[in-house]
Structure 1
Amino acid sequence: MEFKQLILLGPPGAGVKEQAVTLSKRWHIPQVSMGQLIREAIAKESATGIEARPYVEAGELVPDALVMKLLRKRFEQPDVMLQGWVLDGFPRTLTQAQGLNEFLAKVGQPVATVAYLRAMTGLLINRLTAEGEYEPIPAIRRRLARHQEETAPLLDYYQQQQQLSKINASLSAEEITQTLAELFEEETGAAGFIQDESELDSLLEKESLLVVDCMASWCGSCKLVTPLIDQLAETYKERVNVRKIDFDANKQVPKRFGLKGMPAVMFFKDGELMETLTGVKPYQVYNAALTRFLE
């Protein structure tokens, strides 16, 4: 699966931070929280933290220059540079958004995908009032209106840059997570992704021959097999359904089929598992296995 850089935006009550945590774990990539970066800088009494403290204590936005300094320092660390990231709490201003795009271009990284979680005001109010800390509804409405006003220039900018996707945050948390994950599955190669075990079962019922590559985004060996599976799918596209399935989103599948490691390419005939090739194999091995089952 491809290198992921995702910015999550959304109003209070949309579940932005929760989705950032969930996707970070699902994809095994760092979650970068601007709020956390600021709190850590203040706690450590770094030069940037000392400058930021008065703004935080006054309930004001930390100046763009300080925020960008913290973000650049975090993004220059190897885990972010090599694995990708999910970012929440940033950007808050148009200058920050532009600054991040400029920084990514400077270090040779692509621009990020931006997802805005949106929901009806009434639903957001219901969620916020259910959180346990009492806040008058008029105050919540003002907070949501202020967020909308502050966010509008960002959404316009990202729309113009063709980076923006708007996500229905009225759905369940699980459905939102899956929708966000699908943003990175639009170009999957010739072998598309099976979303869940239910879809896998449906394919097993109707496909006489099915090839499934069980892989994960954090698995280096999987990345070597992916282009071979795509080649297999392209070669046999008129005769065989060749697909991929994400281990992290479907952890019950390896247990169900007794997989001992990844990548694992499974060959099913008439719904029955006939052969499993584990580890990285030459293309000729995958091709030979498929050819046997076509005979």
Structure 2
Amino acid sequence: MIPGARLVILGRQGAGKGTQCVRLSRHYVVPHISTGDMLRAAVREQTELGLMAKEIMDSGGLVGDEIMIGLVAERLDRADAQTRGYILDGFPRTVTQADGLDEVAGDKPIDVVIDLYVARDVVLQRISARRVCRDCGTNYTATGTERQPWICEVCGGDVMQRADDHPDAVNRRLDLYEEQTAPLIEHYTSQGRLVVVDGVGAPDEVFRRLTDAIGKRV
């Protein structure tokens, strides 16, 4: 039987992190816990921390370290995360959060922190090529060879590029990610806990690299 695992997955937007986290979740039979999903669930369930986070988000602010650590502690205390482990996607984002995670994990520490590395120019190209049907929501990747690039093959609706997928907007998000994450990567590297995995290649190939790297730590 494949053992469980307690993982942190880092990576630039467009690195394929979401796709690989879903696959890893199925492989290790552990929950995939993303920051966005966790926040939405806490707000929906109207937990004390969820209501605090909602008030901050509604006012346009960023949820602080203390609340985020508390939300993660609540989530990791659930049975599905206690039995075999979990995959954290989008947390921690700061060194303070990383230290808080270590306290929350206690005697069941994180097995490995993975940096799914894809160069900035590659993720920029990937994100800039994303398209979506305005009517039915079907996702596409522009290749430049489409006969009718702006017409949906599913419903005939209008295919468009999201406003936040234009290069200027993407570059701003990548700048913010790198500013936030550089100290975190240095922190985990200095502790010998970070493993960098090449995220370029076919999904199956990248998945194999990930499981090989994780298998050396669990």
4+ residue segments displaced more than 6 Å: none
Deviation at 1:22, TM superposition (A): 1.0
Read off the aligned partner of 1:15 and give its amino acid letter.
G
Q: CA separation in 2, counterparts of 1:164 and 1:42?
A: 32
CA distance change for structure 1 residues 187 and 6 in 2, over 3 Å: closer, same or farther? closer
Separation (CA, whole Å) in 2 of partners of 1:43 and 1:77: 17
- Relative to structure 1, the CA distance from residue 57 to residue 97 in structure 2 (aligned partners, 3 Å threshold; closer, same or farther) is same
Say whether 1:95 aligns with 2:125. Answer: no
- Residue 41 of structure 1 and its aligned partner are, at CA, apart by 1.3
The equivalent of 2:65 in structure 1 is: 64
Q: 1:124 to 1:94 in 2, by over 3 A?
A: same
List runs of 5+ in structure 1 lacking aligned partners. Answer: 189-295
> Shift in Å at residue 104 of structure 1?
1.7
Give the Cα separation in 2 of the matches to 1:11 and 1:101. 23
Asked whether the 8 Å contact 2:112–2:217 carries over to 1, the reply is no
Counterpart of 2:66, as a letter, is A
Matches within 5 A, 1:91-240: 91-105=92-106, 108-132=107-131, 133-134=162-163, 135-186=165-216
What is aligned with 1:43? 44
Whether the 8 Å contact between 1:38 and 1:52 is mirrored in structure 2 is yes
Contact 1:13 1:124 in 2 (8 A): yes
Contact 1:2 1:184 in 2 (8 A): no
Larger RCO (CA within 8 A; separation ≥ 6) = 2
Q: What's the secondary structure of 2:215's corresponding residue?
A: coil
**2:85 aligned residue:** 84
For 1:253-272, what aligned pairs fall within 5 Å after superposition? none
| Counterpart amino acid of residue 124 in structure 1 | V
- Would you say the 8 A contact 2:4–2:28 is kept in 1? no
What is the CA distance between 1:58 and its match in structure 2?
4.8
Q: Is this contact kept in 2: 1:119–1:168, CA < 8 A? A: yes
Larger Cα Rg: Structure 1 or Structure 2?
Answer: 1
Aligned positions, number: 186
Secondary structure of the 1:183 match is helix
Residues 59 and 143 of structure 1, relative CA distance in 2, 3 Å threshold? farther
User: d(CA) in 1 for partners of 2:61 and 2:10?
Assistant: 19
Cross-structure match for 1:246: none
The DSSP-based 3-state class of the residue aligned with 1:114 is: strand
Gap change, CA 1:163 and 1:122, over 3 Å in 2: same
Does structure 2 conserve the Cα–Cα contact (< 8 Å) formed by 1:8 and 1:116? yes
Scaled by the length of structure 1, the TM-score of the pair is: 0.59
Change (3 A) 1:136 1:65: same
How far does the alpha carbon of each residue in 1:72-112 deviate from its partner, in whole angstroms, 9 at most, with x for none?
Answer: 1111122211111111010111100011112222xx11333
For residue 17 of structure 1, what is the aligned residue in structure 2? 18
Q: CA deviation at 1:14?
A: 0.7
In the alignment, structure 2 segments of 5+ residues that lack a partner are 132-161
Cα deviation for residue 150 of structure 1 reads 0.6
CA contact (8 A) 1:115 1:167 kept: yes
CA distance in 2: counterparts of 1:82 and 1:43, whole angstroms: 25
The one-letter amino acid paired with 1:117 is L
Aligned equivalents of 1:18, 1:54: Cα separation in 2: 31
Match of 1:8 in 2: 9
Q: Equivalent residue of 1:166, what SS?
A: strand
- The 1-side partners of 2:60 and 2:93 are apart by 14
